[in-house]
Amino acid sequence: MIRIILTYIAVLATSLPVHADARARLDAFVGGTRTLKAQFSQQVFDASGRKAQEASGVMFLSRPGKFRWVYKKPYSQVIVGDGKKLWIHDEDLDQVTVRKLDQAIGESPAALLAGNNDLEKLFELKPGGDQAGLEWLEATPKGKEGSFAKVRLGFKGNDLTTMELQDNFGQTTLLRFSGLERNPALGSSLFRFKPPKGVDVLGDE
């Protein structure tokens, strides 16, 4: 589930013809954000609404196409998009999975933050209204090959604070961002990955 979600997380940060208020918030967020750092918390709920999983960590972003997600609790996992490849390091399993980034994004609407794809080709977009003090955008994939049925993005002012992802199995993943830092100086080494010696590497290096 974590891998699928992060393959989602790096494509909705482009200008989209939707509700004027939501469009303005998205445009302001994208136009004013070249790099980004934030803490995140993640909760996964099953089809009955029961909390099935909880995690937290920190993310870094450099548009276009580069990102680093570090899961700290309850397990250690690092996910890096270097602009060409997607690297997933499961530290507990001593395993690295690598894929071409464009293929990973193509199978599901990835890069929700870092990409620059034409999302109108991938999603039906509509306003999600105001709820819990947030302005929402709703994106439904046009294709049937993806794992998610719907994605909702919640903005407070011009900041993206919440993402809600509903998959085709009835599960809902809720991501909340905090401590957002826009345009911090981020070293290029954050977006490079070299498999540690001795780990199993799966995929195409």
Total Cβ atoms within 10 A of residue 171: 17
* Averaged pLDDT for residues 20-28: 65
Q: Which amino acid would we find at residue 129?
A: G
0.95 surpassed by pTM: no
* Averaged pLDDT for residues 177-191: 93
Cα dist from 205 to 77, 87, 98, 120, whole Å:
19, 9, 6, 31
- Is the pLDDT score of 12 beyond 60? no
Residue ranges of domains in the chain? 2-186
pLDDT at 19: 46
| Alpha-carbon gap, residue 75 to 63, rounded angstroms | 27
Give the lowest-confidence range in 3-7, 9-13, 38-42, 196-200: 9-13
Name the class of domain 2-186: mainly beta
Q: In this predicted model, what pLDDT tens digit does every residue of 100-147 receive, in sequence order? A: 877 665 434 344 566 554 556 667 778 888 888 898 988 787 776 666
